[in-house]
């Protein structure tokens, strides 16, 4: 939620011209474009340059194009520093007046903000009492006036920020720029993401590295409760208590082209096609010189892994469904009980967690606020935390005891596709690693499982190549207003994920059920022509569930449902009961979700596209939920 960009660069030349690719306005607008995937409903920018008595700014409700059109009609001056923002409304509606930046001190200071300042009402009452007039309904304007008052007293923007954040409660990333100091941008982070981009004669700030990856791949991650001050030639970090701070530098492992559509009609379509590579990259380099599996960063002794007696997976949305798939594999391979918890419920039910608990946190962005708060709660109770995350430099892996990166590259579309399959892949690796450390599997068994997993990318590619039939089926269902999904065993979380994709993208009723629950209530929903997806287990599976799910197909079809079946190649038993069959290659039972999820992604994307909807930015949704 909310995209934040800050930039300071080379001074304006005497002829009032700078390099077109490094004009602060263009750098920030390009950064905001690359952060659109986070979800937003307004956008704005503020600029500073030598000689300005007040900052130049523009902001508009709606998409970024509205802001660009506003600037075309009312051009902004050349500058040396800029901050920009895409807002996801919390306090106050999505209007021009509530868009960021918010100005204070008669336009001499501007602030942008991601998060929620929970004590804004009492601070606002204090400011109103002091005679401050407010022009918006936001908590951010309160922050702007507090910072401005501190700045007047110190004439030091960094110190002003430090004094101000001591008064704020809640979650926030704040960026500020002042007319009196046009080569400086100051940022602060508390429970909200902020990273630094390191350039040559220029430096950057962003909600994530997408904001500046077009200009530099050198980045610095900030710790909790730190303030960063950037100028064209320096980056200085302090802690909220004023002591010197230090960030950790790293190189971004993808380039700007990876964040573009690459000739596809949408980012989602591109990311569906990237799944074979994302899975392969997640698997790459996982075996050490002795043939043993290894994770990315681990500060947990193997004796601790051997002693754990329960695993709790915490996640939200799609990541939670990936965790549910993981449960089947980890319990089967490691014989450890696994619970799946929605992160936003976890710490409020007083969970039983101790030093023998391994908590596995799954988050694509590594900044999901509910999951981060659950991680902190788990560690306070003595549990070890291992995170499965895609974004380097994010908060959740920094606050975990171990991390397993998915290496899926940037995922721009709001609805997760390659994040889901990469997370499942990483969870399988974790299950194998634990089985190795705990001695549940012999080395040759681990090697056999890993070989089967390494064969999956080619099979995913086969499913994608068969996608045109899925698309044609979706186009024929443009008028559908309800769809059900059924699955058993590992097919059950896939069914729920398929339903979620359809809700997110096509805005129609969709529900995923465990197929065994059908006769316990959901069968009452079956009506003539109702589309029902059924994920069929392999007939080779030793679970014995294949015949039971085939019976479920017959039950819903007998009541008039349109049956859309996902089945393994050669599964002749389903032919006579299916109206449509989407075939997937044979694979081990526990790995079937990596293949079965693909047709459901393609179907949801195509149905939404047929309805004329934006599959990359569905309404009301944000890619990264960074507030509770």
- Tens digits of per-residue pLDDT, 151-173? 998 999 999 999 999 999 988 99
pTM, two decimals, is 0.79
Least confident of 1-5, 303-307, 459-463: 1-5
Which residue range(s) make up the domain with 406? 269-454
| End residue of a domain, out of 400, 425, 454 | 454
In this structure, the answer to whether residues 131 and 222 fall within a common structural domain is yes
In DSSP terms, 482 is beta-bridged to: 509
Least confident of 8-22, 504-518, 546-560: 8-22
332 within some domain: yes
263 within some domain: no
In this structure, the answer to whether residues 347 and 307 fall within a common structural domain is yes
Q: DSSP string spanning 186-238?
A: EEEEESS--EEEE-SS-EEEESSGGGTTTT-SEEEEPPSSEEEEEETTEEEEE
Residue 1, pLDDT score = 62
- Count of the separate structural domains present in the chain: 3
In this structure, the answer to whether residues 577 and 527 fall within a common structural domain is yes
What secondary structure letter does DSSP report for 293?
Answer: B
Among this protein's residues, is 623 annotated catalytic?
yes
User: For a pLDDT cut of 90, what percent of the chain falls above it?
Assistant: 72
| End residue of a domain, out of 238, 258, 278 | 258
Residue 626, pLDDT score = 61
Q: CATH number for the domain including 246?
A: 3.60.20.10
Average pLDDT of the chain to the nearest whole number:
91
In this structure, the answer to whether residues 307 and 420 fall within a common structural domain is yes
User: How far apart, in whole angstroms, are the C-alpha atoms of residue 149 and residue 147?
Assistant: 5
Nearest to 396 by CA among 420, 369, 428, 415: 369
In this structure, the answer to whether residues 159 and 30 fall within a common structural domain is yes
Give the neighbor-by-neighbor strand order of the sheet with 226-231. 102-104, 109-117, 170-178, 181-190, 226-231, 234-239
- Find which of 285-289, 364-368, 493-497, 558-562 is predicted with most confidence, using mean pLDDT: 493-497
142 within some domain: yes
Residue 407, pLDDT score = 87
Cα-flanking dihedrals φ and ψ of residue 191, to 5°? 60, 30
User: How far apart, in whole angstroms, are the C-alpha atoms of residue 80 and residue 7?
Assistant: 8
With b meaning 16 or more CB within 10 Å and e meaning fewer, what string describes 326-345? bbbbbeebbebebbbbebbe
Structure tokens at 49: 């340059």
Q: CATH number for the domain including 619?
A: 3.40.50.10490
Least confident of 139-143, 154-158, 386-390, 551-555: 551-555
Among this protein's residues, is 2 annotated catalytic?
yes
Q: Is the pLDDT of residue 210 over 60?
A: yes
SS3 helix, strand, coil % of the chain, rounded to 5?
40, 25, 35
What secondary structure letter does DSSP report for 41?
Answer: S
User: How far apart, in whole angstroms, are the C-alpha atoms of residue 174 and residue 140?
Assistant: 9
Structure tokens at 152: 């007047």
| Segment 291-302 mean pLDDT | 85
Q: Is the pLDDT of residue 18 over 50?
A: no
In this structure, the answer to whether residues 276 and 363 fall within a common structural domain is yes
In this structure, the answer to whether residues 253 and 177 fall within a common structural domain is yes
> 308 pLDDT band (50/70/90 cuts)?
very high
In this structure, the answer to whether residues 254 and 277 fall within a common structural domain is no
Least confident of 278-282, 364-368, 375-379, 496-500: 364-368
End-to-end CA, the chain: 11
Report the alpha-carbon angle 221-91-33, nearest 5.
50
Structure tokens at 344: 């936003």
In this structure, the answer to whether residues 597 and 615 fall within a common structural domain is yes
134 within some domain: yes
Give the neighbor-by-neighbor strand order of the sheet with 509-514. 509-514, 482-487, 531-535, 562-568, 580-584
Strands 42-48 and 81-87, how do they pair? antiparallel
264 within some domain: no
> 477 pLDDT band (50/70/90 cuts)?
very high
> 20 pLDDT band (50/70/90 cuts)?
very low
The SS3 assignment for 437 reads helix
Structure tokens at 471: 């698309």
User: How far apart, in whole angstroms, are the C-alpha atoms of residue 507 and residue 483?
Assistant: 11
Residue 620, pLDDT score = 83
In DSSP terms, 357 is beta-bridged to: 310
pLDDT tens for each residue of 414-462: 999 999 999 999 999 999 999 999 999 999 999 999 999 999 999 999 9
471 within some domain: yes
| End residue of a domain, out of 258, 285, 309 | 258
587 within some domain: yes
In this structure, the answer to whether residues 60 and 118 fall within a common structural domain is yes
In DSSP terms, 360 is beta-bridged to: 313, 386
283 within some domain: yes
Q: Is the dihedral of CA 588, 589, 590, 591 positive or negative?
A: positive
In this structure, the answer to whether residues 481 and 439 fall within a common structural domain is no
Q: Is the pLDDT of residue 334 over 50?
A: yes
Residue 496, pLDDT score = 97
At 419, which helix (H) or strand (E)? helix 418-438
At 318, which helix (H) or strand (E)? helix 318-334
In this structure, the answer to whether residues 481 and 408 fall within a common structural domain is no
Annotated catalytic residue, options 270, 441, 503, 623: 623
Least confident of 16-20, 78-82, 209-213, 582-586: 16-20
């Amino acid at each position: 939620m909310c995209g934040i960009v800050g930039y300071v660069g080379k001074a304006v030349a005497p002829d009032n011209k700078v390099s077109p690719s490094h004009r602060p306005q263009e750098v920030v607008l390009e950064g905001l474009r690359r952060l659109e995937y986070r979800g937003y409903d307004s956008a704005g920018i503020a600029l500073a340059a030598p000689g300005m008595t007040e900052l130049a700014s523009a902001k508009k409700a709606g998409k970024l194009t509205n802001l660009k059109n506003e600037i075309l009609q009312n051009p902004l001056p050349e500058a040396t520093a800029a901050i920009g923002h895409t807002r996801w409304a919390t306090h106050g509606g999505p209007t021009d007046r509530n868009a960021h930046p918010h100005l204070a001190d008669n336009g001499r200071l501007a602030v942008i903000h991601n998060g929620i300042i929970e004590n804004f009402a009492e601070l606002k009452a204090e400011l109103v009492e002091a005679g401050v007039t407010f022009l918006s309904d936001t908590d951010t304007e309160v922050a702007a006036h507090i910072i401005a008052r501190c700045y007047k007293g110190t004439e030091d923007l960094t110190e002003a920020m430090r004094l101000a954040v001591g008064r704020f409660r809640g979650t926030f990333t704040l960026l500020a720029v002042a007319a009196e100091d046009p080569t400086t941008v100051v940022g602060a982070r508390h429970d909200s993401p902020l990273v630094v981009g390191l350039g040559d004669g220029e430096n950057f700030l962003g909600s994530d590295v997408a904001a500046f990856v077009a200009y530099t791949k050198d980045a610095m991650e900030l710790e909790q409760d730190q303030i960063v001050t950037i100028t064209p030639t320096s980056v200085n970090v302090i802690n909220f208590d004023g002591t010197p701070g230090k960030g950790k530098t790293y190189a971004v492992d993808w380039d700007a082209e990876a964040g573009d559509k690459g000739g596809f009609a949408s980012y989602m379509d591109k990311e569906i096609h990237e799944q074979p590579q994302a899975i392969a990259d997640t698997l790459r380099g996982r075996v050490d010189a002795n043939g043993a599996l290894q994770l990315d960063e681990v500060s947990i002794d193997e004796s601790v892994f051997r002693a754990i007696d329960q695993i709790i997976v915490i996640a939200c949305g799609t990541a939670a469904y990936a965790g549910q798939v993981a449960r089947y594999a980890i319990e089967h391979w490691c014989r450890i009980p696994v619970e799946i918890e929605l992160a936003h419920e976890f710490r409020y039910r007083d969970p039983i967690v101790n030093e023998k608990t391994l908590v596995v946190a799954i988050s694509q962005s590594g900044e999901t606020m509910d999951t981060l708060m659950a991680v902190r709660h788990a560690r306070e109770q003595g549990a070890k935390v291992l995170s499965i995350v895609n974004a380097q430099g994010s908060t959740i892996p920094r606050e975990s005891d171990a991390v397993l990166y998915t290496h899926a590259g940037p995922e721009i579309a709001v609805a997760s596709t390659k994040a889901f399959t990469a997370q499942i892949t990483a969870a399988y690796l974790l299950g194998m690693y634990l089985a190795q450390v705990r001695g549940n599997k012999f080395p040759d068994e681990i090697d056999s499982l890993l070989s089967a997993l390494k064969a999956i990318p080619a099979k995913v590619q086969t499913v994608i190549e068969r996608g045109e039939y899925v698309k044609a089926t979706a186009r024929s269902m443009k008028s559908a207003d309800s769809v059900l999904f059924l699955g058993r065993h590992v097919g059950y979380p896939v069914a729920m994920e398929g339903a979620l994709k359809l809700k997110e993208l096509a805005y129609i009723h969709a529900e995923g059920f465990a197929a065994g629950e059908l006769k316990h209530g959901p069968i009452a929903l079956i009506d003539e022509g109702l589309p029902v997806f059924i994920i069929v287990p392999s007939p080779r599976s030793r679970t014995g569930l294949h015949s039971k799910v085939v019976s479920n197909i017959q039950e819903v079809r007998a009541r008039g449902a349109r049956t859309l079946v996902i089945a393994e190649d050669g599964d002749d038993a389903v032919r006579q009961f299916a109206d449509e069959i989407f075939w997937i290659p044979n694979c081990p039972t526990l790995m079937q979700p990596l293949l079965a999820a693909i047709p459901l992604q393609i179907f949801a994307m195509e149905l939404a596209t047929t309805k004329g909807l934006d599959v990359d930015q569905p309404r009301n949704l944000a890619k990264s939920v960074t507030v509770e």
